[in-house]
């Protein structure tokens, strides 16, 4: 149940979190919420998030108020008057403390416009965002992973030293029912063991070719012929799933769910999967935070910084002299790192 801002009579402070996107980055920030709730049980915790990710925050019961930033809609001048309503809602939170985990001009400006007396962000924030902060935090150089850095910002701002806990994400009965209904449509028993695969990613260089996933699944089915496989992703990524299902449909049981799961249903599916095979993607981060084992493929990005968080995961890194290049497209034009990982080893994992 959401608590409208200001309704808790015994609150000790109002706390605003600014982290509008992306899915993986939001997941990396979620562990700060249980820590806040532990130390300030009567505080009102609000979060500014882009519209497409708001549903995920609804699954975190410790968040009291979700402020939706309609970035794509408000990019068009005719919708700019709607920003006044957002700014009014923002100021209504009357935050005592604003934590900007995004570190860009837009998020820094939001933190300033919130009216919070204390505005804390990273010293490494870009686009001049630090100009909007009253305090900036510099994590130690040896602290590399995004989850650790986010928790460090909170620890530094509020002088606590608790270790990283879970994300606090819950799975509602509605989401469970939606998952069961969806799987029944494809004659898959939601109580059975299944493998999920997220074959797409936002960057072209992060996206392993469909032939790689096809080879992995064929090898998996040679060992476990009856194992159902579910493909996860967005509607725009669905054609990639169709390529894989067309090639694999004769070898084993495979269902293309890409574009058919909202964030709540996705959480339910990932909670009940045996393992997720994935590129460096949003579903990878979400599965890891839910405690689902992940087998992840990394090429242009660095798993030490943004890999699946936790111990129960396997990461395979492409071998290239430029790895990690951090480039959207392969700078060599060959996607060489994709062809240096063994599909047999991944299937075994």
pLDDT one-digit tens code per residue, 130-148: 999 999 999 998 998 999 9
Q: Please give the average per-residue pLDDT across 24-46, as a whole number.
A: 93
| Res 119 pLDDT > 90 | yes
**Cβ contact 260:238 at 8 Å:** no
Identify the band that residue 36 occupies on the pLDDT scale cut at 50, 70 and 90: very high
Please give the backbone phi and psi of residue 278, each rounded to the nearest 5 degrees, phi first: -160, 155
Q: Which range has the worst mean pLDDT, 4-8, 104-108, 146-150, 252-256?
A: 4-8
Residue with tokens 């985990």, as numbered in its chain: 101
- List b or e across 51-75, with b for residues whose CB sees 16 or more CB atoms inside 10 angstroms: ebbbbbbebbebbbbbbbbeeeebe
Of the listed ranges 71-75, 224-228, 265-269, 313-317, the one predicted with least confidence: 71-75
Q: How far is CA 203 from CA 4, 288, 327, in A?
A: 38, 20, 8
List CB contacts of 310: < 8 A, sequence separation 6 or more: 288, 289, 291
Residue carrying the six token digits 């986010």 = 150
φ/ψ of residue 97, rounded to 5: -140, 135
Task: Tell me the pairing of strands 44-50 and 65-69.
Answer: parallel
Distance of CA 36 to the CA centre of its chain: 20
Separation of alpha carbons 173 and 175, rounded Å? 5
- Judged against a pLDDT cut of 50, whether residue 100 lies above it is answered with yes
The per-residue pLDDT for 166 is: 72
Q: Which residue has the higher pLDDT, 115 or 2?
A: 115
> Which three-class secondary structure state does DSSP give residue 191?
coil
User: What is the overall mean pLDDT for the chain?
Assistant: 91
User: Does residue 192 surpass a pLDDT of 90?
Assistant: no
Task: Report in angstroms the alpha-carbon separations of 214 from 193, 226, 229, 234, 259.
Answer: 20, 16, 11, 19, 20
Structure tokens at 224: 């476990």
Tell me if 222 sits within 8 A of 182, measured CB to CB: no
The pTM assigned to this predicted structure is 0.86
Q: Above 50 in pLDDT, residue 7?
A: no
Whether pLDDT at 160 is above 60? yes
Looking at residue 164, the DSSP 8-state letter turns out to be P
How far apart (Å, rounded) are the C-alpha atoms in residues 215 and 198? 15
Question: Confidence class of residue 219 from pLDDT cuts 50, 70 and 90?
Answer: very high
pLDDT at residue 173 greater than cutoff 60 = yes
3-state SS class at 137: strand
What are the pLDDT digits (tens) for 262-317?
A: 999 999 999 999 999 999 999 999 999 999 999 999 988 899 899 999 888 999 99
Q: Which two tokens stand for residue 82?
A: 């709607």
Q: Going edge to edge, which strands form the sheet with 135-137?
A: 65-69, 44-50, 14-18, 97-100, 118-122, 135-137
Higher pLDDT, 61 or 1: 61
- Mean pLDDT, rounded, for 18-42: 93
């Amino acid at each position: 149940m959401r608590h409208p801002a200001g309704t808790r009579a015994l609150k000790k402070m109002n706390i605003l979190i600014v982290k509008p996107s992306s899915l993986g980055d939001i997941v990396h920030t979620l562990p700060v919420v249980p820590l806040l709730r532990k130390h300030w049980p009567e505080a009102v915790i609000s979060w500014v998030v882009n519209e497409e990710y708001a549903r995920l925050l609804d699954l975190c019961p410790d968040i009291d108020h979700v402020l939706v930033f309609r970035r794509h809609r408000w990019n068009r001048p005719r919708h700019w008057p709607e920003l006044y309503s957002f700014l009014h809602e923002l100021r209504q939170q009357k935050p005592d403390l604003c934590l900007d985990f995004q570190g860009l001009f837009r998020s820094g400006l939001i933190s300033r416009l919130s009216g919070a007396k204390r505005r804390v962000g990273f010293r490494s924030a870009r686009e001049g965002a630090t100009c909007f902060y009253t305090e900036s935090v510099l994590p130690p150089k040896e602290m590399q992973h995004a989850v650790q850095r986010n928790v460090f910002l909170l620890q530094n701002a509020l002088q606590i030293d608790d270790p990283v806990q879970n994300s606090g994400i819950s799975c509602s009965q509605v989401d469970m029912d939606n998952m069961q209904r969806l799987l029944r449509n494809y004659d898959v028993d939601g109580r059975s063991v299944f493998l999920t695969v997220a074959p797409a990613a936002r960057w072209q260089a992060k996206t392993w070719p469909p032939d790689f996933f096809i080879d992995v699944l064929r090898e998996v089915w040679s060992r476990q012929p009856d194992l159902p496989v579910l493909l996860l992703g967005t509607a725009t990524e669905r054609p990639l799933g169709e390529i894989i299902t067309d090639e694999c449909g004769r070898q084993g049981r495979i269902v293309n769910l890409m574009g058919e799961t909202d964030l709540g249903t996705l959480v339910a599916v990932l909670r009940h999967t045996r393992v997720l095979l994935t590129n460096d993607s949003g579903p990878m981060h979400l599965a890891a935070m839910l405690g689902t084992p992940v087998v992840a493929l990394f090429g242009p990005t660095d798993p030490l910084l943004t890999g699946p968080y936790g111990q129960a995961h396997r990461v395979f890194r492409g071998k290239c002299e430029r790895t990690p290049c951090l480039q959207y497209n392969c700078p060599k034009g060959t996607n060489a790192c994709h062809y240096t990982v063994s599909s047999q080893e991944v299937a075994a994992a």
